């Protein structure tokens, strides 16, 4: 599934290469670039640490309800 989205993104970028705006999924970074950065930043974390971080940041924040 990952490869599918990487190919789709690269096709989209190639198709729109004449446009001033970068239309990558993650803004100015391609999916492989975003993955490399995430692996460098969080690659040493356990699954539990990742889940806790995910649930305490952004739109996935745990609520008291």
Query: pLDDT (tens digit, 9 = 90+) per residue, 13-44?
Result: 888 888 887 777 667 888 999 999 999 999 99
pLDDT at 62: 65
Using CA atoms in the order 45, 56, 31, 46, what is the torsion angle rounded to 10 degrees? 10
Could you tell me what percent of the chain has a pLDDT over 90?
Answer: 46
The percent of residues above 70 in pLDDT, for the chain, comes to: 85
pLDDT at 7: 96
Other beta carbons less than 10 A from residue 51's beta carbon: 12
Res 19: pLDDT:
81
């Amino acid at each position: 599934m990952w490869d599918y989205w990487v190919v789709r993104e690269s096709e989209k970028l190639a198709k729109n290469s004449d446009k001033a705006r970068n239309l990558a999924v993650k803004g100015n970074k391609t999916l492989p670039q975003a993955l490399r950065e995430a692996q460098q930043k969080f690659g040493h974390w356990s699954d539990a640490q990742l889940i806790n971080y995910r649930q305490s940041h952004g739109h996935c924040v745990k609520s008291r309800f």
